[in-house]
Amino acid sequence: MAEIVTARAPLRISLAGGGTDIPSYSARHGGLVIACAIDRYVGVTVHPREFRGRLRTAADSCETVAEAARHPDPMLRACLTRAGLLRDRQVTVFGDVPSGSGLGGSAALAVSVLHAASHPHAHAPDADALAETASRIEIEDLGRAVGKQDHYMAAHGGVRLLRFAPSGQVETERLDLDPGVRAELEERLLLFYTGISRDAGDILSEQNRRTLQGNGDALERLHAIRRIADDMADCLRKGDLDSVGPLVEEHWRLKSRLGTRVSSPWLQGLHDRALAAGAAGGKLLGSGGGGFLLLVCAPDRRQAVRRAMTGAGLVELRFRFTEHGSRAVALPL
């Protein structure tokens, strides 16, 4: 029976350790990342069609997979090719945030396409297998200098500690936070969109090159970021949320100098404006260079920080954590 399949995968925010999952570092030293899946998503709807050629909606958002080899978006083209959706299908992509915004949208797209492609089979896809295949799309097929944290978070969901072994193996550990700690952590985290979309692979290529060359400054910064992830895990397990902001702030101090495009005077000015309004720490998510600014605020400073950020023209993205990774549902035609 023909089916329409819709799949979606969550976006994520990373609290600590970002950058240590990139193979140029993790393959030598091992990486560690603390990340949280949020209830904002990227997804796809895949349905069969009988007519050949190319269809578009009025919004120009709908493409047939029959033309995957000529699709203008290399990421989607690579996802469709890996998924084997090469004939007689139409695909619509939807998302809650702009592409290139630092929340792991490319990984969520890849995981969604792969999940949709596997859904009609008898067994639900294994989350690790989804994440590994999705990561190969970006790292191998597209040659992008990215790590695997986004793919594992999109497939698994939850608040997780991710360990990246030099062998390439990824171990995921769910951090079962006390419900009160979890709720307060959500309340302390604010997201604001800077309005800048960028290609994470382009920005991370400089860090990747410096790491491969054994640049001492880059390696020392990544070692320190790795240690911050250990400290962040300890704080969360103990419910010590007052230490989260300073750790995020220290992470940004280290990360902002990993490459010349990670920050800019304007972006640093936004960060400093938030701290002046009372934020305990902040950092650009993903590769930096734009996208979303994550801020950590004590409850009594949240409104002041919101006013400062909206006054600077930034748009807030409200969110909650989600325990669910990618999901798919099929409807018979």
Give the CA distances from residue 253 to residues 145, 232, 250, 272, in Å, rounded to whole numbers and listed in that order: 22, 16, 5, 12
3-state secondary structure the chain: CCEEEEEEEEEEEEEECCCCCCHHHHHHHCEEEEEEEEEEEEEEEEEECCCCCCCCCCCCCEEEHHHHHHCCCHHHHHHHHHHCCCCCEEEEEEECCCCCCCCCHHHHHHHHHHHHHHCCCCCCCCHHHHHHHHHHHHHHHCCCCCCCHHHHHHHHCCEEEEEECCCCCEEEEECCCCHHHHHHHHHHEEEEECCCCCCHHHHHHHHHHHHHCCCHHHHHHHHHHHHHHHHHHHHHHHCCHHHHHHHHHHHHHHHCCCCCCCCCHHHHHHHHHHHHCCCCEEEECCCCCCCEEEEECCHHHHHHHHHHHHHCCCEECCCCECCCCCEEEEEEC
Beta bridge partners of 295: 190, 282
CA distance 68 to 76: 8
Question: Which of these is catalytic: 96, 150, 230, 242?
Answer: 150
- Is there a contact between 43 and 325 (Cβ–Cβ < 8 Å)? no
Residue 199: active-site member? no
User: Catalytic residues, which ones?
Assistant: 150
